[in-house]
Structure 1
Amino acid sequence: MTGDESVFPPNLSRLSRADWLAALKRIGEQNGFTEPLGRAHAAVFVERGDTLLVSFESTPGIEALSETRTPLGFEMVRQHNWSSLSVLCHSDTWFRDPRVYEFFDHLLDDGFFDEFDCVLFYGAGPCGYAAGAYSVASPGARVLLLQPQATLDPRLTEWDDRFADQRRRDFTSRYGFAPEMLDAALRAHVVYDPREPLDAMHAALFHRPGVTRFRAPFMGGALQAEFMALDLLPAMLKAVAEDRLDRQGFATILRARRDHPPYLRRLLAQLDADGRTHLATMLCRNVVSRMHAPRFRRRLAQLEAVEDDTGT
């Protein structure tokens, strides 16, 4: 382990894969528990406060998105003294594995979740599916899902051709249909970009009592990466834990995208595609007045030149 081991979370970014896995195992053993769940999954529990974040994450995702190469829950341990249960997969499995079923069965039977005042399940994409599906093991939990799949059962989602090779997985047995599993949650929140058709179609399947769907237009098909780049997830998770995430609160949090170049580029591209030159000009003027944005400055010059030629 590199750096000061008394600091949590430690910086594991320079470790080899084998040393990294060993460090995560040691962190769990020293602070709570570590449990392998077959060859494809593992769980790491860090015990701190009375709020528990159950995050579903992939090891490639952690390596790509975390500066310290640690699970998202570790950051909430640092910021808010929460407890963290990180359920990890080594590739996108949607956590459809009997060992994972048994793990959550045991947690439920042992009353593990009853030890906490607040339990929050979180995941994105395939991990969002899993967070929704396994949240049923903790009735009364809060849930935050970013662009989750509802199921890959082809009888329901044959229109989603992104994961055709995964349809052989069993999505019909225990912990199967994620929207139905949310019926036990106190509240659930599903965030998606309505301009991503397949994500929006999955989000529609989550239209159930107790589930609020939040639209994040022009944020693209990798919401977790975009939200982490904007450092929005800690605030969103805390708002969910405190039952404060409503539409107004979400809109306030999402205002940070006004300074996010990928969002602004997508918005400009759509305005150009729709021929809405006046709005495109207004957008470019706003952006160049606030930030260094050569692409927007060039596009503004083009738009203003057209205005001069046409006299509009």
Structure 2
Amino acid sequence: MELDGAIRVDLTTVSNAEWYAHIGVIGEEAGYFEPLGPKHSVFFAEEGPVLLVTFETRTAIRARPGDQLPLGHAIAKGNLWSNLTIIADEESWYRDPAIYAYFDRLVDDAFFEDFDRVVFYGAGPGGYAAAAFSAVAPGATVISLQPQATLDPRVSGWDTRYEKMRRTSFTDRYGFAPDMLEGAGEGFVIYDPNEMLDAMHAALFTRDYVTRLPCPNIGGTIEAILAEMNILEPMLVLACEGRFTASAFWQLYRARRDVRHYLRNVLARLESKNRTVLGAILCRNVVRRLNAPRWVVRLNRLEAELMAKGITLPPERPAPIPDVAALDKDTTG
């Protein structure tokens, strides 16, 4: 399995053990790769004075096309930055004493002080971990997608999605993620306020040093949709450059207007509220801007429903193109 030679192996066909061996070789060449207990490992590549710390699962990494390396490594390497990725074999919320000990060791070695800027990133369980472990690097920027604040049933017993984690302690070290963010330079929590349980967790992150970025209708797979919008990597690049702000995010997030997964979510929400006129206006907007035959069919159906009620759509404005954000506001009313 050569890395830079002529012989290359299709990593989608290799076993997990072979895949670990592959990234282990890369890690040893770039920095190091080592296990952290039986279910986690750490990949470190040293390239420059900016450090991107990511929390990723083996499944998510192996689902990435191409080299099947961590997202954090792909972004950092392309910009000559350093990368530290904690890899979980499964969704563990990174609650493992071996991980605590590893970060303790980094703190004792003043590891994070060697970098001009540190960014922590994760989604879901990784979003929880990014917030929780950011405590080791005061002043770091944290971007957390739909994180859980804790799975301690005394605090979030209303979240019944992760029953297998009920016996895992969230009350010892690095436990309650919102509190661990206290030393961060700035934290950003991105979530869909229409996803009730995610929104309840996000509410627990109400702190002066945390900016919550509610994204109605983005759904429960935020990382995947941001990647589909081609804005996930630009977000992390801006953060590593010290330029990520709420304003910068909203500017990037305008890309949602062309992402059909997101647009379908908006339409489904409008239809669930019987907002037929707004649904038809959305379909008309999509048909005008995108090559979307299925949306033509949906538009025809909605217009027929409205015509049967004696309702016609208002004239279409020639410019500017209606912003789907206006429809977002209507869905929350």
TM-score normalised by length of structure 1:
0.94
Shift of 1:11: 7.5
Contact 2:47 2:77 survives alignment (8 Å): no
Shift of 1:66: 4.5
Alignment of 1:221-236 (within 5 A): 221-236=220-235
**Partner Cα separation in structure 2 for residue 90 and residue 122 of structure 1:** 18
Q: Do the aligned partners of residues 84 and 12 (structure 1) sit closer, same or farther apart at CA in structure 2, a change above 3 Å counting?
A: farther
The corresponding residue for 1:57 is: 56
- 1:130 matched to 2:129? The reply is yes
Q: Do the aligned partners of residues 135 and 238 (structure 1) sit closer, same or farther apart at CA in structure 2, a change above 3 Å counting?
A: same
Residues 91-100 or 224-233, more deviating: 224-233
Partner secondary structure for residue 143 of structure 2: strand
TM-score normalised by length of structure 2:
0.88
Q: Do the aligned partners of residues 154 and 66 (structure 1) sit closer, same or farther apart at CA in structure 2, a change above 3 Å counting?
A: farther
Q: Do the aligned partners of residues 2 and 286 (structure 1) sit closer, same or farther apart at CA in structure 2, a change above 3 Å counting?
A: farther
Identity %: 48
- Give the number of equivalent residue pairs: 309
Measured against aligned partners, the alpha-carbon deviations of 1:236-276 in whole angstroms (never above 9, x if no partner) come to 11222334333322111111111111111111111112122
Shift of 1:67: 4.2
**Partner Cα separation in structure 1 for residue 112 and residue 283 of structure 2:** 50
- 1:179 partner amino acid: P
Contact 2:139 2:183 survives alignment (8 Å): yes
The corresponding residue for 2:207 is: 208
Measured against aligned partners, the alpha-carbon deviations of 1:165-196 in whole angstroms (never above 9, x if no partner) come to 20100111111111100001111111001111
Q: Do the aligned partners of residues 5 and 161 (structure 1) sit closer, same or farther apart at CA in structure 2, a change above 3 Å counting?
A: farther
- 1:149 partner amino acid: Q
- 2:77 partner amino acid: R
Contact 1:42 1:88 survives alignment (8 Å): yes
The corresponding residue for 2:76 is: 77
- 1:49 partner amino acid: G
- 1:217 matched to 2:216? The reply is yes
The corresponding residue for 1:89 is: 88
- 1:228 partner amino acid: A
Partner secondary structure for residue 69 of structure 1: coil
Q: Do the aligned partners of residues 5 and 213 (structure 1) sit closer, same or farther apart at CA in structure 2, a change above 3 Å counting?
A: farther
- 1:19 matched to 2:41? The reply is no
Residues 224-233 or 26-35, more deviating: 224-233
Partner secondary structure for residue 63 of structure 2: helix
Q: Do the aligned partners of residues 211 and 280 (structure 1) sit closer, same or farther apart at CA in structure 2, a change above 3 Å counting?
A: same
- 1:150 partner amino acid: A
- 1:72 partner amino acid: L
Partner secondary structure for residue 144 of structure 2: strand
The corresponding residue for 2:164 is: 165
Structure 2 residues without counterparts, runs of 5 or longer: 312-333
Residues 107-116 or 247-256, more deviating: 247-256
Residues 118-127 or 240-249, more deviating: 240-249
- 1:145 matched to 2:144? The reply is yes
The corresponding residue for 1:112 is: 111
Q: Do the aligned partners of residues 105 and 5 (structure 1) sit closer, same or farther apart at CA in structure 2, a change above 3 Å counting?
A: farther
- 1:84 partner amino acid: N
Contact 2:54 2:130 survives alignment (8 Å): yes
Q: Do the aligned partners of residues 300 and 128 (structure 1) sit closer, same or farther apart at CA in structure 2, a change above 3 Å counting?
A: same
Aligned-residue Cα RMSD (Å) equals 1.8
Shift of 1:3: 6.5
Partner secondary structure for residue 48 of structure 1: coil
Partner secondary structure for residue 258 of structure 1: helix
Measured against aligned partners, the alpha-carbon deviations of 1:128-159 in whole angstroms (never above 9, x if no partner) come to 11111111011111111000011110110000
Alignment of 1:199-278 (within 5 A): 199-278=198-277
Partner secondary structure for residue 87 of structure 1: strand
Contact 1:125 1:148 survives alignment (8 Å): yes
**Partner Cα separation in structure 1 for residue 33 and residue 262 of structure 2:** 38
Contact 1:2 1:11 survives alignment (8 Å): no
The corresponding residue for 2:182 is: 183
Residues 229-238 or 25-34, more deviating: 229-238
Contact 1:2 1:14 survives alignment (8 Å): no
Q: Do the aligned partners of residues 28 and 11 (structure 1) sit closer, same or farther apart at CA in structure 2, a change above 3 Å counting?
A: farther
**Partner Cα separation in structure 1 for residue 274 and residue 282 of structure 2:** 14
Residues 239-248 or 261-270, more deviating: 239-248
Structure 1 residues without counterparts, runs of 5 or longer: none
Contact 1:32 1:46 survives alignment (8 Å): yes
